[in-house]
Amino acid sequence: MALRAFQLPVSYRAGSAGFAIDVRPFAVGLTVLSVLALFLLSGPMLNLLGVPYDAAGGSPLLKIHPASYLSVLALVAWIVVDGGLGPFLGRSWRDSPGLVVLFLAIGLLAFQVIGVQKTPISQVTDNFVMTACLFASLVRLDPREMRFVALLVQGILVLNSSLGYAEGLSGFRLTPLYVNGELLTWEWRATALLGHPLMNAMVTTVCLVSLALGVGPFRTVPRLLLVVFHFGALFFFGGRTAIVLSAAALFAIAAFSGARLLLGRRFPLPVAAAAIFAATLLVIGAVLVVDGGMVDRLIGRFINDDGSAMARVAMLSIFRDMSWSEVIFAPDVVSVKAMLPRIGTPIAIESAYIGFIAYYGGFVTLFFLMGLAAFFAELVRRFGATVLLPLGIYFLISTAVSSFSTKSIELGLLTTLVITAFASRLRPPERSSSC
């Protein structure tokens, strides 16, 4: 009993030798703080607060996101709750084998970054270590705790979309957008809480599609209204791919639901009323958006993409000046980044998968993507095939943006949003008079 008290996994009990601290509340608290830091402290927000997260200079420790530190601490607390590293690994392998595979893939990537390329580890930490730690923490929450975190995430995203509307209509920016230290005064797209228009568009798309699939901590009527609300915000975030994919997904979901109704499926009256109300709001919103000139700006984004499409074609030339050994095993990251301005992508390669090969080499990319696939297969195993739709949308979007090939908290946002939404879906379905 004394050893058990020393390991701190249980609460004090009468007759035990000494005191034992219940670590679980600390683990839950650190998990919640990790989620808050993840959604509220974007890179631009940290820079605005004086933390040189994406800016030049400053300590290397400041280049790692606060959510990464908190998620690692939360993982340590959950390891103690499970009774030590051995029981934690045993439970993880039994319950979440995909997570263990991801940790092994992260180890390989960390060896490539630290041992071979000798580049900063912050990119691996924020992209993947934080994601794995958040997954391990979130899946250990009980249903009441999970519902609380899900409501917290959904509340933050409602606030984020509200800021998108406010910024798009007023011109105010919560977090000004800088590129290479230069303020983009001409940029009309909203930055909101997540800091970059494309990040906002991706997360909002995954959120609204998940809600349209019937998951999340809300009943049917609020869910339908939130789907319309978030879809409208996409036009202020200006993500072209996100708008097209979300519209296609919503059309497919609506068509499937309509087909089921034609086959005789009964439906609650409140749901029918909410659907009509949501459609009405969508029409009114569309009229207001057209009248306010937002559609003209968005059409301009589709017609004139400022060379973005050409840059995505030209990025393949990044491999032209690299030897086969560099392409397969160990690219010179400094040389790769020096070539970016010449091919029209001065910030990063605008494809997560091409970028990963260019930065880490084909060998590491192959094995790491296998680990990442095992991790997302774990989400499918836990929540069913329905989760493939939001995950598929994310992977399609990541083919056209730098995403996880550069330092980003994108995967952490995606994982947290998907887990909290799908794990908190309401069961059983509502009872009400039907038609």
DSSP 184-202: -TT--S--TTTSSHHHHHH
Region of poorest pLDDT, from 170-179, 281-290, 405-414: 281-290
Give the residue from 33, 119, 120, 108 showing the smallest Cα distance to 70: 33
Query: Is residue 201 a part of any domain in this protein?
Result: yes
Domain that holds residue 192: 158-299
Is 189 inside a domain boundary? yes
The total of structural domains in the chain comes to 1
What value does the CA radius of gyration of the chain take, rounded to a whole number of Å? 23
Buried-state track 77-111, b at ≥16 Cβ within 10 A, e below 16: bbbbbbbeeeebeeebeeebebbbbbbebbeebee
Residue at token pair 């979901």: 253
More confident residue, 130 or 56: 130
Residue 304 lies in a domain: no
pLDDT of residue 368: 93
pLDDT of residue 103: 94
Tell me the pLDDT of the chain averaged across its residues: 81
Domain-embedded: residue 388? no
Classify residue 15 by its DSSP letter.
Answer: T
- Stated pTM of the model: 0.83
Asked if residue 285 is part of any domain, the answer here is yes
Count of residues making up the chain: 435
For residue 337, being part of any structural domain is answered with no
Specify whether the CB–CB gap between 421 and 211 falls below 8 A. yes
Whether residue 165 is contained in a domain is answered as: yes
Question: Which range, 124-138, 173-187, 207-221, 403-417, is most confident?
Answer: 124-138
Backbone angles phi, psi at 355, to 5 degrees: -60, -40
The answer as to whether 249 is a domain residue is: yes
